[in-house]
A and B are shown apart, each in its own frame.
Chain A
Amino acid sequence: MTPHPTGDLGIWVAALLTLFILSFIYKDNPLYKFAEHLFVGVSAGYYIILNFWTVIVPNLWEPLKLAFTGHGVNAGREGLFAAELGDYRAWLIFPAVLGLLLFSRFFGKLSWLSRWSLAIIIGVYAGIKTTGFAQGDFVAQVQASLVPLWTGHPLNDLNALIFVVGLITSLLFFFYSREHKGALGVSSKVGVYFLMVGFGAGYGYTVMSRISLLIGRFQFLLDSWLGMR
Chain B
Amino acid sequence: MPNAAKGVRERLAGLALRMGTLDRRWIFLVMGLLVLYPLLFPLALPLQITPPVRGFADAMDQLKPGSTVLMSCDYDPGAIPELVPMTRTAFRQLLSQDCKVVVTVLWNGGPGLVDSVLREVAREFPDKHYGVDYVNLGYKAGNEAVMVLMGQGVANAFPRDYRGNNTRGLPMMREVGDYSTFALLVSVSAGYPGTKEWVQQVQARFHLPMVAGVTAVSAPEYYPYLQSGQLRGLLGGMAGAAEYEKARGESGTATRGMDAQSLGHIFVALCILGGNFVQWGRRRRGA
> B257 contacts the other chain (Cβ, under 8 Å)?
yes
| Residue of A with least CB distance to B81 | A216
B residues contacting A by CB (< 8 A) are: 25, 28, 31-32, 35-36, 39-40, 78, 80-82, 108-109, 111, 138-145, 148, 152-153, 156-160, 162, 196-197, 199-201, 203-205, 215-217, 219-220, 224, 227-230, 236-239, 253, 256-257, 260-261, 264-265, 268
B264 contacts which chain A residues (CB < 8 A)?
A: 207, 211, 214-215
Tell which of B142, B157, B220, B229 touches A205, judged by Cβ atoms closer than 8 Å.
B220
Tell which of B139, B162, B238 touches A212, judged by Cβ atoms closer than 8 Å.
B238
List 17 extra interface pairs beyond A51-B108, A59-B157, CB under 8 A: A55-B139, A55-B140, A124-B145, A128-B201, A132-B204, A135-B204, A136-B199, A136-B201, A136-B203, A136-B230, A143-B228, A205-B237, A206-B216, A213-B81, A216-B253, A218-B39, A219-B256
Decide: A54 and B138 in contact? CB cutoff 8 A.
yes
**By DSSP majority rule, is chain B's interface helix, strand, loop, or mixed?**
helix
B176 to chain A, nearest CB (A): 15
A205 contacts which chain B residues (CB < 8 A)?
A: 216-217, 219-220, 236-237
Q: What 0/1 pattern do residues 182 to 213 of A give for CB contact below 8 A with B?
A: 00000000000000001001101111111111
| Residue of B with least CB distance to A206 | B217
Decide: A215 and B108 in contact? CB cutoff 8 A.
no
Tell which of B39, B111, B261, B265 touches A222, judged by Cβ atoms closer than 8 Å.
B39
Tell which of A62, A210, A215 touches B260, judged by Cβ atoms closer than 8 Å.
A215
> A137 contacts the other chain (Cβ, under 8 Å)?
yes
Q: List 26 A-B contacts (CB under 8 A).
A: A25-B28, A54-B138, A59-B140, A59-B157, A59-B159, A63-B159, A86-B153, A124-B145, A135-B205, A136-B196, A136-B203, A144-B228, A201-B220, A205-B236, A207-B264, A208-B216, A208-B237, A209-B215, A211-B260, A211-B265, A214-B35, A214-B264, A215-B39, A215-B81, A215-B260, A222-B39
